[in-house]
A = this chain, B = another copy of it.
C-alpha cells in the first residue's frame, strides 16, 4: 500500500433509541436550521421525533430539498440562514439532504464571490457552519464523510466538492426510519453502496490485504442482506446491516493506501445530468460496461473479486472475470435495477454527448491509472445500449 492519511471525526450514533441524545450534541443556545427533503420524514414520524428532540432550540425549517440537490435550492437556504443568523445545520434525510446541507454550510460564510466556485473551480472551504445529520436512508455514505455532490439546473452540471470543514459533527443513523422506504430507494441504496466499494477496490493489486478484505466484507454483506431488506425494508436487522455497510463503504477507511477509480461515478453523473436517471441506476448501467471495456487492465482484481465475493473458482481468468461481471449484473437486476441504457430510453446520441464532454475536459484524468479515456467511455456505454 502507499503512504496515506486517514481522518474521520464524525461521531456516529447508531440505532433506534439514540435520537433523544441529539440535544446533547448541539451547542446550547444554537439557532438551528432543520433541513429535509420531500416530506417522507413527516409520514414516517422522524419529523416529530426530531422536533421533540430539538425543543430546547430555536429552529428554522427548510424543506423541499430534491434528489440530486440543486445549487439553486441550496442558495435559497443560504439566504434564509444568513437572515436568521443560523449557527447550526441539521440535515434530516438521505444523501441529497446531507450533501445540500454540506454545501449550504460552506456557502453561508463564503467570502470569495459566488459559492458555485467551490464546486466549479475547486476553491477551498476556509470556514463552514457546523452541521449534524439524522440519516433515514442508507446509500451515499455522506453521513460519515466530507464530500458532497450538487447539481445546477441552469447548466445541467453535477459537480462535487470535499472539505474537512464539512464533516458532520455527528450522525444519527436510524435503521427503523429507513424501514418505511419504498423498495426502489432501498434498491438504489444497495447499488450505490456496492459501487462505492468497487470504485475503491476494483482497480489493481497493491498489496493492501486489510483494505481488500474490508471491501469484500462490505460487498458480501450487501449481497447477503439485500434479498431480505429489499423484500421487507422494515426488517430491522437486515436494514441495520445495510445501513452500517453503506456508511462503511464511503467513510474513507477502505480508500486508505489504495488507488481509487471513481470513473463509474463520473460517467454516471453525466447520465443523471442529461436524463435525470437516479444516481444509483446510472452506476448500475456504467459499471458492467466499464469493467468489460477495461477487462484486461482490471482482470487481476476481477478474478479476486469473483473468487472471494461470488465463489467463482473455475475457468480461465477471462471466464472468471466475465462471470463475476455477470453475477454483478444479475445482482443489480434482482433488485429491479436495469443495467441497460435501453431500459431508460437512452440512445447512442447520449453516448456521443458524454464522450464529447469528456474530450473537452481531457485535462481531467479519469479512472485508476487514467484508464477511463473518452474511447473507453464510448466502449463502456456502447456495450450497455
Contact = CB atoms under 8 A, between A and B. Distances in A.
Interface of A: 1-18, 207-210, 213-214, 216-218, 220-221, 224-225, 237, 240-241, 244-245, 248, 253, 256-257
Contacts of A256: 12, 14, 244
A5 B8 CA distance: 14
Given A213-B217, A217-B213, A207 B3 contact: no
B11 A210 contact: no
A14 B5 contact: yes
Nearest to A9: B9
A3 B18 CA distance: 7
Chain copies in the assembly? 2
Given A221-B210, A221-B213, A14 B3 contact: yes
B207 A213 contact: no
Contacts of A220: 209, 213
A8 B9 CA distance: 6
A1 B175 CA distance: 11
A335 to B, nearest CB: 18
Contacts of A221: 209-210, 213
Contacts of A240: 1, 207, 257
A171 to B, nearest CB: 10
Residue from the set A3, A216, A224 with the largest chain B CB neighbour count within 10 Å = A3
